[in-house]
Chains A and B, each alone.
Chain A
Amino acid sequence: MENKQIIDINNLVKRFPIGDGYFTALQGITLRFVAGEFAGLVGPSGSGKTTLLNLIGSLDSPSEGSVVVLGHEVSRLSHRESAALRNYHIGFIFQTYNLLPVFSVYDNVEFPLLLQKRDAVGRRKAVMEALDWVGLSHKAQSRPAQLSGGECQRVSIARAMVKRPELVLADEPSANLDAKNSHHIIQTMKRLNRELGTTFLFATHDEKVMGYLDRIISLDDGRVARDERPLCVNEAQSDSTAEENGHARRQARI
C-alpha cells in the first residue's frame, strides 16, 4: 500500500520574541511523515517538542520555512481554515487531559462532532463507538472529576478519535500516569493506529512510550539530532515486553 504524505516540514524555523530580541526554539527542521506512522519527538526539556507539535497542529505559525499538513500550508491558513483543519483532521491529546469539567464523558467526546454539525443519530453512534474503543462505555454519564487519571486520558483519546482524524498529536500523554496506565493508553493508541490507520505523533520523555514507537525523532536545542526507526518493534507487545524492548534498545544504542 502506497502511504500518502501527511506532514511535510521544510527548513522550519520558529522564533519567539523575548525582550528586544528573539529566542529561536526551532532551527532548520525538515521532516516528513506518512499516513499510519506511530512516531515520537523526544529530547530534553526545552528542546522544542511542544513548539513543533503546535506548529503542526496549526495553533502557531512558522517564522521561516514551511509546514504542510494534509496538503495545507499552515502559514497560509486563515483562522477559520485552520480551525476547520483541526476540527475535521487533527486530534489532540494533552498531558493534563483538559476535559471540559462541567460536561459528562459522553458530552466531552461528543463536542468535536457538535462543532462539525453532525446529526444526532450519527453523533450517538460515533461517540459510543469511540468510548467502546477505550473501554469506557459504562462511564458515559460520569463527570471527569469522578474518573481516575488513566480513565480521563482514555476519554481524551476517545475525544481525539471520535471524528476519525488522519492525525493525532499527543503531547506527553503519559506524563501524569503510572506505569500500568501509561502502557494501557499507549497500547490503546497503538491498536487504533493499526486498526484505523491513524497517524500518531507524540512528544514524550517517557521510556515506556518510546518502547512502542516505530519512529523516534530526537530533538536537541531546536534541531533534529537523530531520526531513527527501531527495527524490532513488537506488533503485539505485552506490558512486560514493551518494558524490556525499551531497555533493549537503550542498551543497543550505548
Chain B
Amino acid sequence: MIHFLLKGVLHDRHRSLLPLIVITLGVALTVLGHAWVNGVLGESFVMSAHFSTGHLKAMTRAYAEEQDQMPIDLALIGVKEIMDELAGIGEVDWAPRIRFGGLIDFPDESGSTRSQGPATGFAVDLLTPGSKEIDRFNLTSSILSGHIPTREEEALITYDFAEKFHIQPGDRFTFFGSTMEGSMAFGNFIVAGTVRFGAEALDHGAILIDLTAGQRMLGMPDAAGEILGFFNNNRYDQKEAQAIADSFNARRSGSTDEFAPLMVTMRDQEGMAQLFDYTHIISAILITAFVLAMSVVLWNTGLIGGLRRYGEFGVRLALGEEKSHIYRTLIYEALLIGLIGSVIGTVVGLALALYLQVVGLDMGDAMRASTMMMPSVIRTQVTATDFWIGFIPGLFSMTLGNALSGLGIYKRSTAHLFKELEA
C-alpha cells in the first residue's frame, strides 16, 4: 500500500508538485528567515563586541566598577607585560583601547574658537599594518568622507560634528581632556574623515584616534583603559570565554590590589546578560510567527488538494475502502510530501543562508541615506537549529491541511461522496 501511495503521489502532479513547491519554498524561507533573524540579532552582538565589550575584556578591578565613566585614571599599566601573558592564549586577538572624554574645539581662520562641544574619544590601534581594529570599527564602509588615518595626528570624527560645525576633511581641531594623572591634556588633530558607525552610542560626538597618539596625549605610555579580546573566528563562545577569564583571574586571586587586572566575559558585562536572554525571546517570537504564517499557506494548499479529490474518494469507497483508511492515506501522503519538501527546502534554505553568511548582502548604499540603526551588511547566521526548524511548517502544515480537508470524508455520507462521481 505504501508503494501504491508513493506511486500516486509521484504520478499526480496536482497532488505532489504544487504542494511540494509551496512546501519547499516555505521551508527554505523559514530556514533563511531564521538564519537572517539570527544574523541581524547576531550582528548587534557583533557590534557590541566590536565597539565596546569585546568577547573578553581585561581592565583594573577599579575601572570595572566605574566603566561607564571612562575613568582613565584607573587604567591598566604595564600593558606590554599583560599583552605578553595574553599572547599565550591561542585563538584570541587582544586589542588595547582607551576610551576617554573631553572637549573638542574647532578654531576659525584666526585661530580662536569657532565652535566647541563635548566629545567621547576612542584611541585604538589604527596604524599598525594589519590591525584588525579597522575592521572591527567597520571603518572601510562606514566612512562618509575622507580616509582612514594614516598618521598619528589624523583623527576621524562622527558625521554629526561635521554637520553641526561644517567640518571637512583637512580641517584642524584641538581636543581638551585630562591625563591619567589628572592634569590637563590636549592634542591637535587633522580631520582625516567623517564616519557614521551605525550605532547610536558612538555616532554622537565621537572622535577616533590612533592608540599611540592617545597614549601620548593622555600621558599614559604603556597604559590602556581596557584590553579587549576577540576570538579569531569572530564567534562568541561563552564557555571558552569563561574558561579564559577564569584562568586569567585565578593567577591574581591572591591579590587585593584594586589596580590588578580583572578579566570579564562579554556576557558578564553590564546589560549584556539581559540582551542575550532578550535576543533569544525575540528570536523565538519571530520564528513562531514565521512558522505559523507558513503553516497557514501550506494548510490551504492541503485543503484545496483534499477538496479536489472527493470524487476519487467516492470511487475508493465504492471499491470497498474504509473511510478511516482513506483518511489515513491522506495523512501519510501529506507526511510524505512534507518530508520530501522539508528536506529539499532545508537544503535550499541552508545553501542560501550559507551564501548570505559568507558573502553578505551589502545594503551600505541604502543604509547610508537612512537614519535607521542597522548594520549595513546584512548577514545570515546558520546555526544547528536551521537544520530542523523548517520541518515544523514543512511536516505539520500540510498534514494539518489534509487532516482538516479530509474530515469532509466523514461529514459527507458515503452516497453523497459517491454522487461527486457524477459531477
Most A CB contacts (10 A, CB to CB) among B8, B317, B318 go to B318
Contact B319–A103 (Cβ < 8 Å): no
**Which segment of B158-166, B236-244, B320-328, B382-390 sits at the interface?**
B320-328
Dominant secondary structure of chain A at its interface with chain B: helix
Question: Closest chain A residue to B15 by CB distance?
Answer: A102
Interface residues on B, range: 20 to 34
Q: Determine which of B7, B314, B318 lies in contact with A103 in the assembled complex, contact meaning CB atoms within 8 Å.
A: B7
User: Could you say which residues of chain B place their CB within 8 Å of the CB of A102?
Assistant: 7-8, 11-12, 15
Q: What mask results when residues 192 to 223 of chain A are scored 1 for a CB within 8 Å of chain B, else 0?
A: 00000000000000000000000000000000
* B413 interface contact, C-beta 8 A: yes
User: Could you say which residues of chain B place their CB within 8 Å of the CB of A83?
Assistant: 317, 320-323
Most A CB contacts (10 A, CB to CB) among B11, B322, B421 go to B322
Segment 364-423 of B: residues with Cβ below 8 Å from A: 413-415, 418, 421-422
Question: Closest chain A residue to B418 by CB distance?
Answer: A59
Distance in Å: Cβ of A222 to nearest Cβ of chain B: 16
Segment 110-126 of A: residues with Cβ below 8 Å from B: 111-112, 114-115
* B171 interface contact, C-beta 8 A: no
Dominant secondary structure of chain B at its interface with chain A: helix
A102 to B16, CA, bound (A): 12
Contact B421–A98 (Cβ < 8 Å): yes
* A84 interface contact, C-beta 8 A: yes
Contact B8–A79 (Cβ < 8 Å): no
* A96 interface contact, C-beta 8 A: yes
Q: Determine which of A60, A98, A114, A115 lies in contact with B315 in the assembled complex, contact meaning CB atoms within 8 Å.
A: A98
User: Could you say which residues of chain B place their CB within 8 Å of the CB of A57?
Assistant: 318
A103 to B8, CA, bound (A): 7
User: Could you say which residues of chain A place their CB within 8 Å of the CB of B317?
Assistant: 59, 83, 86
User: Could you say which residues of chain B place their CB within 8 Å of the CB of A87?
Assistant: 319-321
A57 to B1, CA, bound (A): 25
Distance in Å: Cβ of A73 to nearest Cβ of chain B: 17
User: Could you say which residues of chain A place their CB within 8 Å of the CB of B421?
Assistant: 94, 96, 98
Contact A88–B320 (Cβ < 8 Å): yes
Segment 1-47 of B: residues with Cβ below 8 Å from A: 1, 4, 7-8, 11-12, 15
Contact B323–A114 (Cβ < 8 Å): no
User: Could you say which residues of chain A place their CB within 8 Å of the CB of B415?
Assistant: 54, 59-60
Contact B320–A84 (Cβ < 8 Å): yes
* B362 interface contact, C-beta 8 A: no
Interface residues on A, range: 20 to 34
User: Could you say which residues of chain B place their CB within 8 Å of the CB of A112?
Assistant: 319-320
A95 to B324, CA, bound (A): 27
* B65 interface contact, C-beta 8 A: no
* B181 interface contact, C-beta 8 A: no
Q: Determine which of A88, A92, A95 lies in contact with B318 in the assembled complex, contact meaning CB atoms within 8 Å.
A: A92
Segment 303-321 of B: residues with Cβ below 8 Å from A: 311-312, 314-321
A179 to B414, CA, bound (A): 33
Contact B315–A100 (Cβ < 8 Å): yes
Contact B318–A111 (Cβ < 8 Å): no
Question: Closest chain B residue to A87 by CB distance?
Answer: B320
Contact A60–B413 (Cβ < 8 Å): yes
Contact A79–B321 (Cβ < 8 Å): no
Q: What mask results when residues 61 to 79 of chain A are scored 1 for a CB within 8 Å of chain B, else 0?
A: 0000000000000000001
Question: Closest chain A residue to B417 by CB distance?
Answer: A59
User: Could you say which residues of chain A place their CB within 8 Å of the CB of B4?
Assistant: 107, 111, 114
User: Could you say which residues of chain B place their CB within 8 Å of the CB of A100?
Assistant: 8, 312, 315
A159 to B421, CA, bound (A): 17
User: Could you say which residues of chain B place their CB within 8 Å of the CB of A86?
Assistant: 317-320
User: Could you say which residues of chain A place their CB within 8 Å of the CB of B320?
Assistant: 83-88, 90, 112, 115
* A180 interface contact, C-beta 8 A: no
A54 to B422, CA, bound (A): 13
* A80 interface contact, C-beta 8 A: yes
Contact B323–A79 (Cβ < 8 Å): yes
A111 to B1, CA, bound (A): 9
Q: What mask results when residues 239 to 251 of chain A are scored 1 for a CB within 8 Å of chain B, else 0?
A: 0000000000000
User: Could you say which residues of chain B place their CB within 8 Å of the CB of A103?
Assistant: 7-8, 11
Question: Closest chain B residue to A88 by CB distance?
Answer: B320
Q: Determine which of B7, B312, B322, B422 lies in contact with A79 in the assembled complex, contact meaning CB atoms within 8 Å.
A: B322
CB-CB under 8 A for A54 and B418, given A102-B11, A114-B1, A114-B4:
yes
A100 to B4, CA, bound (A): 12
Question: Closest chain B residue to A81 by CB distance?
Answer: B322
Question: Closest chain A residue to B415 by CB distance?
Answer: A60
User: Could you say which residues of chain A place their CB within 8 Å of the CB of B316?
Assistant: 111
A80 to B323, CA, bound (A): 8
User: Could you say which residues of chain B place their CB within 8 Å of the CB of A111?
Assistant: 4, 316, 319
User: Could you say which residues of chain B place their CB within 8 Å of the CB of A82?
Assistant: 414
Distance in Å: Cβ of A213 to nearest Cβ of chain B: 23
Distance in Å: Cβ of A110 to nearest Cβ of chain B: 8
A6 to B413, CA, bound (A): 25
User: Could you say which residues of chain B place their CB within 8 Å of the CB of A94?
Assistant: 315, 318, 421
Distance in Å: Cβ of A82 to nearest Cβ of chain B: 8
Question: Closest chain A residue to B318 by CB distance?
Answer: A92
A83 to B418, CA, bound (A): 13
A98 to B325, CA, bound (A): 19
Segment 129-173 of B: residues with Cβ below 8 Å from A: none
A54 to B317, CA, bound (A): 12
Question: Closest chain A residue to B323 by CB distance?
Answer: A79
Question: Closest chain B residue to A96 by CB distance?
Answer: B421
Q: Which 7 A/B pairs are nearest by Cβ-Cβ distance?
A: A87-B320, A86-B320, A60-B415, A102-B11, A102-B12, A83-B322, A92-B318
20 other A-B residue contacts (CB within 8 Å) besides A100-B315, A111-B4:
A59-B415, A59-B418, A60-B415, A79-B414, A80-B324, A83-B323, A85-B320, A86-B319, A86-B320, A92-B318, A94-B421, A96-B421, A96-B422, A100-B312, A102-B12, A102-B15, A107-B7, A112-B320, A114-B4, A159-B319
Interchain residue pairs with CB less than 8 A apart (9): A54-B415, A57-B318, A82-B414, A85-B320, A86-B319, A87-B319, A100-B312, A112-B320, A114-B1
> Residues of B with Cβ closer than 8 Å to A?
1, 4, 7-8, 11-12, 15, 311-312, 314-325, 413-415, 418, 421-422
